[in-house]
Amino acid sequence: MKYYDDLRSFIDALDAMGDIMHVTREVDCDFEPSAITRRSYEIQSPAPLFHHITGVESGFRLFGAPASLSSRSDMPYARVAMSLGLAPESTGLEIVEALSAARHKPGIPPVRVESSAAPCQQNILRGEQATLDRFPIPFAHDKDGGRYANTWGTLIVKTPDGKWVNWSIARVMKVDGKRMVGLIVPSQHIGQIWAEWVKIGEPMPYALVQGPAPAISCVSGIPIPAHADEADYIGTLAGAPVEVVKAVSIDLDVPATAEIVIEGHVSITRDCQEGPYGEYGGYLGSGSSAQPTFHVETITYRDDPIWPMSITGRPTDESHTLWAMGLAADALTYLREAELPVKAAWIPEDSTVHWLLIVMPENWRELLPGMSSEELSQRIGEVLFKTSAMVFIPKVYVVDDDFDPTNLREVVWVLSTRVHPVGRRAVFEDQRVIRLPQCYEEEEYVAGKGAKVVFDTLQTTRHLHASFEQGYPQEVRQRILDNW
């Protein structure tokens, strides 16, 4: 296992295993990089690295699909695993376990280095020179409200008293060279911190970091408990503190090896229209909303910087790999803390973060004496739907452990044959609903409330599968394999 402390060493490692597609011809910055990246997701090709983009300074590059499925069929989750310092052949369930386990270990706080030792400050732009127009920011989709300056970068903010520092990913749209507008959801951590600045009537300092160490991008995009510092959690995953440097113009520390850092302040009112944007559910956006303005004041960057991007849409992109694994790890952590003997949690990529599978071991009835499967499903829903991350999950399936939950073919078979047409489900009415899940009616989005469900698919008696593995004597199977 190896931890990559900057984006470039990570790209080099992917390149060595044949998982980078070098696009050396000049590409138009409007749609071409995004369209190539989107196709790379859909055919599971190597991750595209764009070396020549029309209209920007020579040397500036774009990097697409940083944490999607690998083009290596023998290690499909290699990009996510390697980002987190895990072995490239790690399975999805192993990654979820690692993310959950790290939450119970002591955090390792970051360490500050001098500016001279921070590659992210090799070049410094101030005033009118600090303009987004210098950088290759494409349209993600042709129906979007603008060019999205943040799809895989880390936003760094902290409370006015400095006690809580938050690193997160949120979509941010370019308005012009000096302004962006970002989606600030009140219930999310960045929204809670922004509300504290609004209370005191002062604009919120922010740093938008493009291309930090891959683990920083990944952890920024998954749920961890409120008031926990992502930097400390990343240090735990890395086994060493994250190196940070003081930002040039604001009182924030930023990752020292980042490619690009944008510094400025966020308005205290929702004074600019953001969206629409094609989201992880797989549909192009159709609406916009008033959101705060991110004013651009200073930009620092490495020589020949690399701007990473995630182009969300139909499976499979970073929303369906990394983010889904983070949500599964969150669910797994809370259920085990509730003393439920859950074996695994998994969100199938092709469900676009609309299904969550909770896998129970064969002996769960012995571990929970007197509890029926209906009562277990009810309890699982009570635990999960109180957590903030589960606002994104409308459907939970409680399943046995006699199949591979990461194999979509097996998932479809199990759900098709074990979900009862009418009964065996726990319905939770009037749960919090936001617009990102695609399965609700307009009146439910307006009200902010809708139903969620836990399906009980647990078998009273385990049935053997009509399969090669379970349908024939072991000696017959071995003889066939030996002569295959």
Distances (CA, A) of 336 to 256, 295, 340, 453: 36, 43, 5, 20
Q: Rounded to the nearest 5 degrees, what angle is found at the Cα of 156, between the Cα atoms of 49 and 101? A: 80
116 secondary structure, DSSP code: G
7-309: CATH number: 2.30.110.10
pLDDT of residue 225: 86
Give start and end residues of each alpha helix (H) in 53-141.
78-83, 92-102
CATH 3.40.1670.10 in the chain: give the residue spans.
338-456
- pLDDT tens figures, 138-173: 999 999 999 999 999 999 999 999 999 999 999 999
CATH 2.30.110.10 in the chain: give the residue spans.
7-309
Give start and end residues of each alpha helix (H) in 398-465.
408-418, 442-447
Backbone phi and psi for residue 138, each to the nearest 5 degrees, phi listed first = -85, 165
pTM: 0.95
| Residue 374 structure tokens | 């209906």
Residue 441 burial class via C-beta count within 10 angstroms: exposed 0-12, middle 13-18, buried 19 and up: exposed
Classify 358 as helix, strand or coil.
strand
pLDDT of residue 226: 80
Helix axis angle for 373-384 and 324-337, nearest 10°, is: 110
pLDDT > 70: what percent of the chain?
A: 100
pLDDT of residue 228: 85
Residues whose CB is less than 8 angstroms from the CB of residue 343 and which lie 6 or more positions away in sequence, other chains included: 359, 360, 361, 401
Distances (CA, A) of 12 to 17, 47, 63, 229, 358: 9, 12, 12, 29, 36
List per-block mean pLDDT (blocks of 10 residues) for the chain, which spans 484 residues. Answer: 94 98 96 98 98 95 98 97 97 97 95 96 97 96 96 98 96 98 92 98 98 98 89 95 98 98 98 96 92 98 98 96 97 98 98 98 97 98 96 97 97 97 94 93 96 97 94 97 98
- Find out whether 314 and 72 touch, Cβ atoms under 8 Å: no
To which H or E segment does residue 200 belong? helix 189-200
Mean confidence (pLDDT) of the chain: 96
- Find out whether 323 and 279 touch, Cβ atoms under 8 Å: no
338-456: CATH number: 3.40.1670.10
pLDDT of residue 37: 98
Q: Which residues are catalytic?
A: 279
Coarse DSSP helix, strand, coil percentages of the chain, rounded to the nearest 5 percent: 30, 25, 45
Residues whose CB is less than 8 angstroms from the CB of residue 46 and which lie 6 or more positions away in sequence, other chains included: 14, 18, 19, 20, 21, 40, 71
Report the helix count and the strand count for the chain, using DSSP H and E: 13, 23
d(CA 170, CA 155): 7
